[in-house]
Structure 1
Amino acid sequence: MYQYTAFDKQFVQRRARQFRDQLERWQSGKLSEDGFRPLRLQNGWYVQRYAPMLRVAVPYGEIASRQLRVLARIAREYDEPEAAVFQTAMEGQGKLGTTFLPKNCAHFTTRTNVQFNWIALSRSADVMDLLASVDMHGIQTSGNCIRNTTTDALAGVAVDEIVDPRPYAEILRQWSTLHPEFAFLPRKFKIAVSGAREDRAATGWHDVGLQLAKNAAGEVGFRVTVGGGMGRTPLIGAVIREFLPWQQIMNYIEAVVRVYNAHGRRDNKYKARIKVLVKSEGQRYIDAVEEEYRQIMEIDGGPHTISQAEFDRVAACFVAPALTDLPDLDPQALEAALQARAAGHVAFGRWLQRNVHAHRNPQLRAVTLSFKRPGQSPGDASGDQLNALADLVDEYSAGEARVTHDQNMLLPWVHASRLFELWQEARALGLASANVQLLTDMIACPGGDFCALANARSLPIAEAIAQRYQDLDELDDLGAIDLHISGCINSCGHHHSGHIGILGVDKDGKEWYQVTLGGSDGSDLSGPAAAGKVIGPSFSAAELPDVIEAVLDTYRDLRERGESLQSTVRRTGLEPFKEAAKTARHRDEPVAA
């Protein structure tokens, strides 16, 4: 993990002190609401439907056990709604059926950040001080700036990795943090970096996607895509450079963002993302970027060229931890012992198959701990779970974990001989659901239970589907399925990229849901990133579980041997699924006399 320098620590702590001063001036009336709003947003403090929401940055997903312990403390001691506010929220949600208003917990997002939904602004400065004590903050988790750079949760350990993307992600983080020219862009701006053959960072869906590669001479560089994004207009990024030398990546992104900053629309927030500019201007945008890049290099002298010394300094933080207290065993013997143990413990065997991933070090494994089980919202972890999780991270993963795009937690440094022990402890904490990449390992945004922008609720839908599909044999038979749920068109639940996507919509003040099929984030090797297509009119919340069941039953009826849902949809088209959804919608209607 990157080790904060004395300067880094001082910067974060000073930022926390500045926020305390701003808060106190606002509380005393010396700072207006309009004056305070941008200051709190620049530190990750939103005001949502019922209470403030804090978003904490976790750059490229890497998190330490000491940071998890502080998040656990914040969850237990600060994520507590005021009684009157919570009662109002309960009454409001109660009108809509089952209530999902979890408190005293953290919520992990698809952008590998952490959110809290109930912290009072009056206590926000104390929380910022706690975060700063472990090198955490909310900088650039809000606003029209370059947001948290993300990458593959298996970075540095994946067997298909070409180049470790983490040093580049960290260098980009340092370059973009409070960049004076890019603090007020037309809209928010997101960058993802992947260094593996399989694109697990969903780079095609980002404003800028960076795919590390090596050319014929063995030199490292980036394939650069620009203009991806979800929302009202889902688009996959366009390739604008097939191979850019790694030393020039910041100079080139500087050109990409400068052209966007100069020409992106500011009159309409729905058309302000860079994807709209790239789509409308096409080659003219690319030509403008190349000209800006030429000037940066030839006239300005390439001021952001990465030196080998600077790269080496940052890369030194990302070496594998020394695991000297663990045995050095024959990999084949290790695997044989694991399979023997799995044969005697069916539940462990399932977990080994679904949640344990190959590692570039044959002695080790990467393990996903699942935050997906009935009764717990996707991506949520209680304060007690976080504290116990920190103990597991120390005991089994050298003090380091990764927040994943799928709203789970990955332990990257687990010795294979200790997997059974880890499974037993994780199961006791409710973190060992053997459902990774299966239907119930779904992505869901907080939706209308918390978010003022949402048109509909996500969490009750996620719970209803999870309750219906608890048979692991059935889930295994269905195979890998990405189910993504968004409460509104802003797409925080990435519904466009789900094999099955669910989008909440508002019709005459009531909650309805659209269903899409065939989306992909680009991480599955069966096809590139793509937006799902709608399979019919919107459905009510009561109808939706039956509709999903009808879609899956149709898939089982139509699939060929070994065929995935994605492949079946591509082969057959949408019509059989549209008809199944339509039939399910009318299943409970009375028959006319």
Structure 2
Amino acid sequence: MSHAPHSPLPVGHYAYDEVDRTFLKQRVAQFRDQVERRISGALTEEEFKPLRLMNGLYLQLHAYMLRVAIPYGILNSGQMRALAQIAQRYDRDYGHFTTRQNIQFNWIRLEDTPDILALLAHADMHAIQTSGNCIRNVTADQFAGAAADEVLDPRVHAEILRQWSTLHPEFTFLPRKFKIAISGSPQDRVAARFHDIGLMARNGENGRPVFEVYVGGGLGRTPIVGVKLRDDLPEEDLIAYLEAILRVYNEFGRRDNIYKARIKILVQALGVDEFRDRVNAEFVAMDRARYRLDEGIVAAIRARFGVPDFDPAGQAAEKLAQQRKADRAFDFWVRTNTHAHKQPGYVSVTISCKPAGGIPGDVTSSQMNLLADLADQLSFGELRITHLQNVVLGHVRQDKLYGLWQTLEQNGLGTANVGFITDIVACPGLDYCALANARSIPIAQKLSERFASPDLQREIGPMRLNISGCINACGHHHAGHIGILGVDKRGEEAFQITLGGAADQDTVSIGQIIGAAMSEDETVDAIARIIDTYLARRTAGEQFIETCRRLGTAPFKDAAYATA
């Protein structure tokens, strides 16, 4: 494979300056001192807990877990190699990509954490605000800056939001954690309406981009679809308006009950009209000139990303067409795992981290190093992590796809299942998490094996299957066409099935529980019967979610419990 030309700046990834790097070095030194005091006994666990959480360090069932921030899912090849080094040296040779486009390491020793953070800082990375009651990692469209249907490049605005929100003095101790997602396209690829704030770009009346602003969405114990607060927010008012929303939440959000503390509860309690009025009052009263995003600021941030030096398209499309015609398996992979690019002769490639029988989102250190090499060779040194726990190469020439696919196939990363039933989203569950009721990983593996046949997946068609190990819904089970929720049933692990959820369509919906919890094997069999019912009762061209909405859940419930 040939090497792509390099740009002066790292392509697709925001370039840190010395201010950023000095800050991270100081933060590492501060935490090193805190860890030493914890180990010596000068700090109790209760005193240390808020300090470690501010640096993304959790205490799980068996070890510490470190969650590393990947802002808006973008990283360069050097950063991926740094993550591989952490996996190999400090963990058990793998990392887990999460639904916030971050990565978790599940077997970290406390005494190693400062050295890990120093390694991250050297690679212009950190673990700040991956935990705690603060504004978490802002997530963005995995095809940002490349998608053919893009109105604006959301990486630029996600970076602006990152700079605004990181260690914001007013929003460091919110009533509860706060999550923002931004899409640069009218096509929702970020589950915008399941976020505390969701931003969707579209063209305004004057031809300039504006944002639709959704607020009060979320999953967990009380799943709620966010409501539209504005549909015409100008780019220059983005920070001011979000500041107004956060101020209202920070003032009126509940702090007396952790289960009632999210902004979704406040919006429901006040009603969307009153909440909007309070936000507008705050927005009008603030010094908006201080927050205004003028064109110069936006252009300066955009320039820090670098621009790919694309080769002319030449005969790339024609060569790809010939290769697809000659190899059926390759053709299927291209259809499922590539996305239209705005640059002629290029596509974006989604690399599935969900092989048959594999653990969703887990990637070994050798695979990370391979992905870094492929990014250097084929995608200007840039990678993206998706909120669906896969990896994207954003800019691949069409005539390089066949060689890429062959390399991925040889290294367990060539699965052609993106958007299909085995492209499962799952949290780590009870294998690691102290909050979980059931293990997510084994049932994900069994379902992946049950539906591994490419022909069967193609027959089923587009499908989202999500698994959470507890009601906190880290696997976003409510948003799956089929969702699985782990519960405790008289001291035993069991699973409830939900149907009809959707996060990325015009009609966003929350999956509904169809019946009593079942054992792991009973749940796998029940889902197989649900799929059989769909295949038998769908109309021509109808996808599962459409059949489910047309028929309702009753026939699927009958099938699920037919022999349970």
Question: How far apart, CA to CA, are the structure 1 residues paired with 2:375 and 2:532?
Answer: 40
Name which of 305, 310, 329 aligns with 2:292. Answer: 305
Question: Is the Cα contact below 8 Å between 2:351 and 2:414 reproduced in 1?
Answer: yes
* Match in the other structure for 2:157: 168
Name which of 233, 237, 244 aligns with 1:244. Answer: 233
TM-score under structure 1 length normalisation = 0.91
* Match in the other structure for 1:590: none
Instruction: Determine what percentage of the aligned residue pairs are the same residue.
Output: 49
Unaligned runs of 5+ in 2: 1-12
Equivalent position amino acid for 1:479 in 2:
G
Question: Is the Cα contact below 8 Å between 2:313 and 2:346 reproduced in 1?
Answer: no
Equivalent position amino acid for 2:529 in 1:
A
Question: How far apart, CA to CA, are the structure 2 residues paired with 1:320 and 1:420?
Answer: 25
> 1:197 and 1:319, CA in 2 relative to 1: closer, same or farther beyond 3 A?
farther
CA shift for structure 1 position 426: 1.1
> Is the partner of 1:229 in helix, strand or coil?
coil
Name which of 13, 25, 42 aligns with 1:30. Answer: 42
Tell me the alpha carbon deviations over residues 86-118 of structure 1, each in whole angstroms, 9 at most, x when there is no partner.
Answer: xxxxxxxxxxxxxxxxx3200000100000000
1:426 maps onto 2:416 in alignment: no
Tell me the alpha carbon deviations over residues 525-574 of structure 1, each in whole angstroms, 9 at most, x when there is no partner.
Answer: xx422101111111111201100100000000100011100110111111
Matches within 5 A, 1:311-350: 311-323=298-310, 326=311, 328-330=312-314, 333-350=315-332
* Match in the other structure for 1:488: 470
CA shift for structure 1 position 319: 4.5
Matches within 5 A, 1:15-54: 15-54=27-66
Question: How far apart, CA to CA, are the structure 1 residues paired with 2:15 and 2:306?
Answer: 12
Tell me the alpha carbon deviations over residues 199-218 of structure 1, each in whole angstroms, 9 at most, x when there is no partner.
Answer: 10111000001111221111
Name which of 527, 538, 550 aligns with 1:548. Answer: 527
Question: How far apart, CA to CA, are the structure 1 residues paired with 2:357 and 2:416?
Answer: 16
Question: Is the Cα contact below 8 Å between 1:444 and 1:458 reproduced in 2?
Answer: yes
Deviates more, 1:64-73 or 1:340-349: 340-349
Question: How far apart, CA to CA, are the structure 2 residues paired with 1:528 and 1:34?
Answer: 44
Name which of 563, 568, 573 aligns with 2:542. Answer: 563
CA shift for structure 1 position 59: 0.5
Matches within 5 A, 1:458-477: 458-477=440-459
Question: Is the Cα contact below 8 Å between 1:513 and 1:544 reproduced in 2?
Answer: yes
Question: Is the Cα contact below 8 Å between 1:444 and 1:485 reproduced in 2?
Answer: yes
Tell me the alpha carbon deviations over residues 223-256 of structure 1, each in whole angstroms, 9 at most, x when there is no partner.
Answer: 1111000011111111111211111111111111
Question: Is the Cα contact below 8 Å between 1:157 and 1:361 reproduced in 2?
Answer: yes
1:497 maps onto 2:479 in alignment: yes
Name which of 367, 376, 387 aligns with 1:385. Answer: 367
Question: Is the Cα contact below 8 Å between 2:437 and 2:493 reproduced in 1?
Answer: yes
> Is the partner of 1:542 in helix, strand or coil?
helix
Question: How far apart, CA to CA, are the structure 2 residues paired with 1:128 and 1:366?
Answer: 31
Question: How far apart, CA to CA, are the structure 1 residues paired with 2:188 and 2:131?
Answer: 26
1:255 maps onto 2:248 in alignment: no
Equivalent position amino acid for 1:223 in 2:
E
* Match in the other structure for 1:61: 73
Moved over 4 A (4+): none
1:367 maps onto 2:349 in alignment: yes
CA shift for structure 1 position 421: 1.0
CA shift for structure 1 position 26: 1.5
Matches within 5 A, 1:74-473: 74-79=86-91, 103-282=92-271, 283-296=273-286, 300-323=287-310, 326=311, 328-330=312-314, 333-473=315-455
Name which of 488, 513, 533 aligns with 1:534. Answer: 513
> Is the partner of 1:371 in helix, strand or coil?
coil
Tell me the alpha carbon deviations over residues 406-449 of structure 1, each in whole angstroms, 9 at most, x when there is no partner.
Answer: 10000001111111111111111111101110100110000000
> Is the partner of 1:55 in helix, strand or coil?
strand
Equivalent position amino acid for 1:475 in 2:
Q
CA shift for structure 1 position 477: 0.5
Equivalent position amino acid for 1:272 in 2:
A
CA shift for structure 1 position 347: 1.9
CA shift for structure 1 position 31: 2.4
Equivalent position amino acid for 2:15 in 1:
Q
> Is the partner of 2:484 in helix, strand or coil?
strand
> Is the partner of 2:290 in helix, strand or coil?
coil
* Match in the other structure for 1:85: none
Query: How many equivalent pairs are there?
Result: 551
> Is the partner of 1:491 in helix, strand or coil?
coil
TM-score under structure 2 length normalisation = 0.96
Question: How far apart, CA to CA, are the structure 2 residues paired with 1:68 and 1:301?
Answer: 39
Equivalent position amino acid for 1:497 in 2:
A
> Is the partner of 1:225 in helix, strand or coil?
strand
Question: How far apart, CA to CA, are the structure 2 residues paired with 1:4 and 1:319?
Answer: 12
Equivalent position amino acid for 1:341 in 2:
Q
Question: Is the Cα contact below 8 Å between 1:13 and 1:132 reproduced in 2?
Answer: yes
> Is the partner of 2:211 in helix, strand or coil?
strand
Question: Is the Cα contact below 8 Å between 1:164 and 1:195 reproduced in 2?
Answer: yes
Question: How far apart, CA to CA, are the structure 1 residues paired with 2:479 and 2:28?
Answer: 36
Question: Is the Cα contact below 8 Å between 1:57 and 1:136 reproduced in 2?
Answer: yes
Question: How far apart, CA to CA, are the structure 2 residues paired with 1:197 and 1:360?
Answer: 15
RMSD: 1.2
Equivalent position amino acid for 1:534 in 2:
I
Question: How far apart, CA to CA, are the structure 2 residues paired with 1:375 and 1:538?
Answer: 23
Unaligned runs of 5+ in 1: 80-102, 586-593
1:579 maps onto 2:540 in alignment: no
CA shift for structure 1 position 219: 2.4
